[in-house]
Amino acid sequence: MGLGWKHIIPILLFGFWSNYSFSQNPPIPEINSEDLTERLLPVQDEDLDYESIYEALFQLYQNPIDINKANAETLQATYLLTPIQIHELITYRNKFGPFLSLYELQAVPEFDQKTIEAILPFIQIGSSRKSNEPFWQRVREEENTYLLFRSRRVWETRKGFTPPDTSSNGALSSRYLGDPNDLYLRWRIQHIRDFSIGITLDKDAGEEFTWDPKTARYGANFFSFHFTRYQVGNWKTISIGDYKASFGQGLVFGAGYSLGKGAETVPTVRKSSVGILPYTAALEFGFFRGAAATYSGKNWEATLITSYAPRDGRASESLDSLEQNSDLISSFNQSGLHRTVSELSTKNQFRELSLGGNFQVNLTPQITGGINFLHTGFNHPWIRDPKPYNQFEFKGQSNQIGSTYFNANWKNFFLFGETAISKSKGTGTILGFISSLSKQVDISFLWRNYDKNFHTFYGNGFAESTRPINEKGTYLGLEIRPISKWKINLYYDYFSFPWLKYRVFAPSDGHEWLARLTYKPYKTLSAYIQIRNERKARNLPDSGEPSQTYKTAIISKTNGIFNLDFQVSKQLYLRSRVLWSNVDFHNSQSHGFMILQDVKFGMNRWRITGRYALFDTDDYDSRIYTFENNVLWTFSIPAFSGQGQRFYLIGQYDLGKKTTLYLRFARTTYTDRDKISSGLQEIDGPHQTESSFLIRYFLNR
Rounded to an integer, what distance in angstroms lies between the CA atom of residue 540 and that of residue 423?
35
Q: 310 falls in which pLDDT band (50, 70, 90)?
A: very high
Higher-scoring residue by pLDDT: 24, 132? 132
What is residue 332's predicted lDDT score, i.e. its pLDDT? Answer: 87
Rounded mean pLDDT, 632-646:
92
Most confident stretch, 50-64, 325-339, 636-650: 636-650
Q: Which of 52-61, 436-445, 593-602 has the lowest mean pLDDT?
A: 52-61
Give the N- to C-terminal CA distance of the chain in Å, as an integer: 43
What is residue 20's predicted lDDT score, i.e. its pLDDT? Answer: 40
What is residue 172's predicted lDDT score, i.e. its pLDDT? Answer: 82
What pairs with residue 227 in β-bridges? 197, 240
Q: What percent of the chain has pLDDT over 90?
A: 64
Rounded to an integer, what distance in angstroms lies between the CA atom of residue 553 and that of residue 98?
59
pLDDT one-digit tens code per residue, 448-489:
999 999 999 999 999 999 899 999 999 999 999 999 999 999
Higher-scoring residue by pLDDT: 343, 9? 343
Pairing, β 275-278 against β 235-246: antiparallel
What is residue 677's predicted lDDT score, i.e. its pLDDT? Answer: 95
pTM: 0.90
Q: Is the pLDDT of residue 10 over 50?
A: no
pLDDT one-digit tens code per residue, 528-567:
999 999 999 999 886 555 555 678 999 999 999 999 999 9
DSSP structural state of residue 467: S
Rounded mean pLDDT, 84-101:
89
Rounded mean pLDDT, 239-245:
97
Neighbours of 539 (CB within 10 A): 19
What is residue 50's predicted lDDT score, i.e. its pLDDT? Answer: 62
Secondary structure string (H, E, C) spanning 322-367: CCCCCEEEEEECCCCCCCCHHHHCCCCCEEEEEEEEEEEEEEECCE
Rounded mean pLDDT, 115-142:
81
CA distances for 270 relative to 39, 252, 413, 494, 539, angstroms: 16, 15, 12, 17, 32
Under 8 Å between Cβ of 332 and 312: yes
Residue 588 neighbours by CB under 8 Å, 6+ apart: none
What is residue 21's predicted lDDT score, i.e. its pLDDT? Answer: 37
Rounded mean pLDDT, 223-251:
96
Name the residue among 281, 383, 288 with its Cα closest to residue 331.
Answer: 383
Rounded to an integer, what distance in angstroms lies between the CA atom of residue 4 and that of residue 448?
50
Rounded mean pLDDT, 347-365:
95
Q: Which of 188-192, 317-321, 629-633 has the lowest mean pLDDT?
A: 317-321
Q: 48 falls in which pLDDT band (50, 70, 90)?
A: low
Q: 15 falls in which pLDDT band (50, 70, 90)?
A: very low
Rounded to an integer, what distance in angstroms lies between the CA atom of residue 276 and that of residue 246?
7
Neighbours of 592 (CB within 10 A): 23
Q: Is 163 exposed, middle or buried (0-12, 13-18, 19+ CB in 10 A)?
A: exposed
Rounded mean pLDDT, 99-109:
89
How many helices (H) and strands (E) would you count in the chain? 8, 35
**DSSP string of 623-635, one letter each residue:** -EE-----STT--
Q: Is the pLDDT of residue 307 over 60?
A: yes
What is residue 659's predicted lDDT score, i.e. its pLDDT? Answer: 97
Q: What percent of the chain has pLDDT over 70?
A: 87
Q: Is the pLDDT of residue 130 over 70?
A: no
What is residue 615's predicted lDDT score, i.e. its pLDDT? Answer: 98
Rounded to an integer, what distance in angstroms lies between the CA atom of residue 486 and that of residue 431?
31
Q: Is the pLDDT of residue 498 over 90?
A: yes
Rounded mean pLDDT, 255-271:
83
Residue 303 neighbours by CB under 8 Å, 6+ apart: 237, 245, 247, 275, 276, 292, 293, 294, 295, 357, 358, 359, 360
Q: Is the pLDDT of residue 415 over 70?
A: yes
Q: Which CATH number fits domain 1-129: 1.25.50.20, 3.30.565.10, 1.10.357.10, 1.10.150.280?
A: 1.10.150.280
Q: 2 falls in which pLDDT band (50, 70, 90)?
A: very low
Rounded to an integer, what distance in angstroms lies between the CA atom of residue 265 and that of residue 528?
15
Rounded mean pLDDT, 652-676:
96
Q: H/E element holding 649? A: strand 643-654
Q: Is the pLDDT of residue 268 over 70?
A: yes
Q: 303 falls in which pLDDT band (50, 70, 90)?
A: very high
Rounded to an integer, what distance in angstroms lies between the CA atom of residue 301 and that of residue 372?
12
Under 8 Å between Cβ of 405 and 247: yes
Q: Is the pLDDT of residue 185 over 50?
A: yes
Rounded to an integer, what distance in angstroms lies between the CA atom of residue 234 and that of residue 45?
45
Residue 446 neighbours by CB under 8 Å, 6+ apart: 269, 270, 430, 431, 432, 462, 474, 475
Rounded to an integer, what distance in angstroms lies between the CA atom of residue 635 and that of residue 629?
8
Q: Which of 478-482, 633-637, 656-660 has the lowest mean pLDDT?
A: 633-637
Q: Is the pLDDT of residue 527 over 90?
A: yes
* Average pLDDT for the chain: 88
pLDDT one-digit tens code per residue, 594-627:
999 999 999 999 999 999 999 999 999 999 999 9
Rounded mean pLDDT, 192-210:
93
Q: 128 falls in which pLDDT band (50, 70, 90)?
A: low
Most confident stretch, 49-63, 68-82, 540-554, 572-586: 572-586
- According to DSSP H, which parts of 413-506 are helical? none
Q: Is the pLDDT of residue 321 over 50?
A: no
What is residue 74's predicted lDDT score, i.e. its pLDDT? Answer: 81
* Domain assignments of the chain as residue spans, ordered by start: 1-129
What is residue 17's predicted lDDT score, i.e. its pLDDT? Answer: 43
What is residue 559's predicted lDDT score, i.e. its pLDDT? Answer: 96
Rounded mean pLDDT, 671-685:
96
What is residue 556's predicted lDDT score, i.e. its pLDDT? Answer: 97
